[in-house]
Amino acid sequence: MEIAGSKVVVTGGAGFVGSHIIDRLVAEGASKITAFDNMVRGRESNLAHAKAAGDVELVRGDICDTAALAEVIKGADYVFHQAALWLLECEGEPRKAVEQNIIGTFNVLEACALNNVKKAVVASSSSVYGEGSYLPTDEAHPFNNNLFYGATKVADEQLCRAFHKKYGLDYVALRYLNVYGPRMDYRSAYVMVIMNFLNRIDRGEPPQIYGDGSQTLDLVFIEDVARANLLALKSPATDVALNVASGKETTLVELAKIVLRLLGTSIEPEYKDRDKKLVARRYGCPKKAKELIGFETRVPVEEGIAGVIEWWRKDKAAAEHGGSESKG
């Protein structure tokens, strides 16, 4: 699949992952890129760099609006489907999770099939595995999810398979592990643990660790995730779900120590009772993604966290001074 000269649609394109995919599409010469986003979590500033460097259009719309989707995907060569409700949002509003993550994904895939899109790359999640019965979890691990978010991602993958069988729609589903990096949301009620640490420390409060801190994450830097998406598109791989994983575990205690060291503070973490519904260990096997699309992570955790902190400081300072938000 050739990206240069192509027309591409990215759902959730003004969001965290979507905007980084668009940066790479611009760098690889896509001729026309459309970010389709309802702007609930998306930010126009996330697209500032891409708009300055390429033909990038932001179309405000929702994946539950089939007419708007059909219009925006008409004529597209490729689609990256990133729009979704996050894990905690899905737990709080399960009906909305089904409407957005399952019906919305059906709408995207249907529009791709009807408009002869050459290939779709679809965001899935390691949440489909639930608590791993063995580690690292590889793609052969059975679905063991018991949360609404994971349930929607299981359904999305099955919809991809059905559209491939019925309509011949080529796709790769990417099971993201713990994605982090610049442009992560740090302002809403639903933020990842890294941003929770930073926000609390910034207020002079100790970072909170739920449980004893032995829980683990498989941290994958956003630039690696964006690169995985483009590798999936360009590869001949199809009708497959792949981990986007580092294959390394980082405990919450280790993560807190990295953040505290990089911030230069001696404040001690505060321990709270853990939500037993959440998975205790995330640790994905990266071998199949390397074999099929040539993907391996490149950014070490400490380097990536340093990049997050640098961006977070700039973005927060710009917002506090009433200026434009950081382009990081």
Spatial separation of the C-alpha atoms in residues 303 and 283, rounded to whole Å? 20
Structure tokens at 247: 């294959």
Query: Which residues contact residue 34 at a Cβ distance below 8 angstroms, ignoring those fewer than 6 apart?
Result: 7, 8, 9, 10, 13, 56, 57, 58, 59, 72, 76
C-alpha dihedral (17, 19, 24, 25), degrees to nearest 10: 120
H or E element in which residue 106 lies: helix 104-114
Give the β-pairing of 171-176 and 240-244.
parallel
Q: Give 290: exposed, middle or buried? Use CB within 10 Å, 0-12, 13-18, 19+.
A: middle
Is 176 part of the annotated catalytic residue set? no
Q: Is 62 helix (H, G, I), strand (E, B) or coil?
A: coil
Distance of CA 199 to the CA centre of its chain: 21
Terminal CA-to-CA distance of the chain, rounded, Å? 29
CB distance 10 to 80 below 8 Å: yes
Query: Which residues contact residue 249 at a Cβ distance below 8 angstroms, ignoring those fewer than 6 apart?
Result: 216, 217, 218, 281, 282, 283
The angle subtended at Cα 227 by Cα 296 and Cα 145, nearest 5°, is 70
Of these residues, 78, 129, 134, 149, which one is catalytic? 149
| β-pair partners for 172 | 121, 240
Active site residues: 149
